[in-house]
Structure 1
């Protein structure tokens, strides 16, 4: 298991905790605890009473929302060094989604009560938190637009380009989850995702090796989807 002390430098790299002074950060870390999740284990369920938020140390975690039809949709795939569920401190104390480990994962469980107390005592940190929540709102509005008006090709290509470090050079990226999870994240069926990938391979815009995707010219990929 990853120690809390080893996670401290990684926590300090997150936008939320980058400005936290050590005298405020250390008491919060002291009350936090690492947890190891088995593959498929539920960390928290939608609607459940929230007492903590989390930092992902290893593995991947899917955030899943239930639709009115009863179906479930992956709204985000959490990557190592990501914080998640911190917004629940301002949402009435209940989780708006379900968090499930894709494989074995390690998370740091951070207590919400001490976190909120620290924010209340340090207005600058509160402003930083509000800025982070504004960024999350912008992200969710962007995702809603993608799912409502964009084609399958536009959704997948936009997602792949977002994963590219730069657009001017060849890129080799790893899908953050299984293809079925990525398809659900994009509002597609696995079959549709496979068909779009096949079209992109046929157009020689990328190659696929399981979860590894090589894009020789990201700008050409963007031009291809804009032309469609």
Structure 2
């Protein structure tokens, strides 16, 4: 880990905070209060940023690279819940949890630069600026609604339906190229299916010319059958 900034509030951080969907359009003074005492740090691949159960003292804003959040089962099995890319925030909801601890472990994928923003600054900013607190509450409610829908989808859908919906949610180029943020084994665990089942589905879909690729790099050749499979994963509101 390398310290890039020692806790001052450089001018480049405020525009970065303003790119967060939940905070865009707020008065710059509000964003400056959020950024008080922020620290910029560069991490190597695979470094742990915080562990499940640690005291939640700060949240993260990713300037470059990727941060994955994971949990470990009783037998040590690993489940990757999400991979956050540049421009995303991590663990801001943990700043308001009554137990004051992180619910997951966060670690880097590749060289990553993050800003550490403090819990104390977040609380003080919300107390001074009700508009900020309302924005965060709306954002947390939106996420909760999405997670409820995803849970229902996971419990009622088949393996092909889940995989198709997941692939269609990934960002893709005009040529249909997508990159899996997880290994295939991690993705299978995330979708609640066997790794062998996921591998078989990808092979079958390649045979049918729906997609092509290997490992984490794929190209969607015919998204229409995938959309048919994923029908029902999206909610009307």
Normalised by the size of structure 1, how large is the TM-score?
A: 0.86
- Structure 2 counterpart of 1:103, from 95, 105, 110: 110
Q: What per-residue deviation string (whole Å, max 9, x for no partner) do you get for residues 11-51 of structure 1?
A: 21112221331122224334111122222211111111011
Q: What per-residue deviation string (whole Å, max 9, x for no partner) do you get for residues 71-116 of structure 1?
A: 3311111122111100012212110111121222221101011111
How far residue 184 of structure 1 moved from its aligned partner, in angstroms, is 3.2
1:60 paired to 2:66: yes
Partner of 1:154: 161
1:144 paired to 2:146: no
3-state SS of 1:48 partner: coil
| CA distance in 1 between partners of 2:96 and 2:21 (Å) | 18
| CA distance in 2 between partners of 1:109 and 1:97 (Å) | 17
3-state SS of 1:35 partner: strand
Partner of 2:234: none
- Structure 2 counterpart of 1:23, from 11, 22, 29: 29
- Structure 1 counterpart of 2:90, from 68, 79, 84: 84
Larger mean Cα displacement after TM superposition, 4-13 or 54-63: 4-13
| CA distance in 2 between partners of 1:203 and 1:141 (Å) | 33
Larger mean Cα displacement after TM superposition, 210-219 or 96-105: 210-219
1:34 paired to 2:40: yes
Unaligned runs of 5+ residues in structure 2 are 232-237
| CA distance in 1 between partners of 2:40 and 2:189 (Å) | 29
| CA distance in 1 between partners of 2:26 and 2:226 (Å) | 40
3-state SS of 2:166 partner: helix
| CA distance in 2 between partners of 1:201 and 1:195 (Å) | 10
Q: What RMSD, in angstroms, separates the aligned Cα atoms of the two structures?
A: 2.4
- Structure 2 counterpart of 1:116, from 114, 123, 130: 123
| CA distance in 1 between partners of 2:87 and 2:164 (Å) | 24
Q: What per-residue deviation string (whole Å, max 9, x for no partner) do you get for residues 105-141 of structure 1?
A: 2211010111111011111111101001011112221
| CA distance in 2 between partners of 1:19 and 1:198 (Å) | 46
| CA distance in 1 between partners of 2:151 and 2:230 (Å) | 19
| CA distance in 2 between partners of 1:205 and 1:16 (Å) | 36
| CA distance in 2 between partners of 1:77 and 1:59 (Å) | 10
1:195 paired to 2:216: no
Higher helix share: 1
Normalised by the size of structure 2, how large is the TM-score?
A: 0.83
| Counterpart contact for 1:174–1:213, Cα < 8 Å | yes
| Counterpart contact for 2:69–2:83, Cα < 8 Å | yes
| CA 1:8–1:196: 2 relative to 1, 3 Å | farther
Runs of 4+ in 1 over 4 A off after TM superposition: 1-4
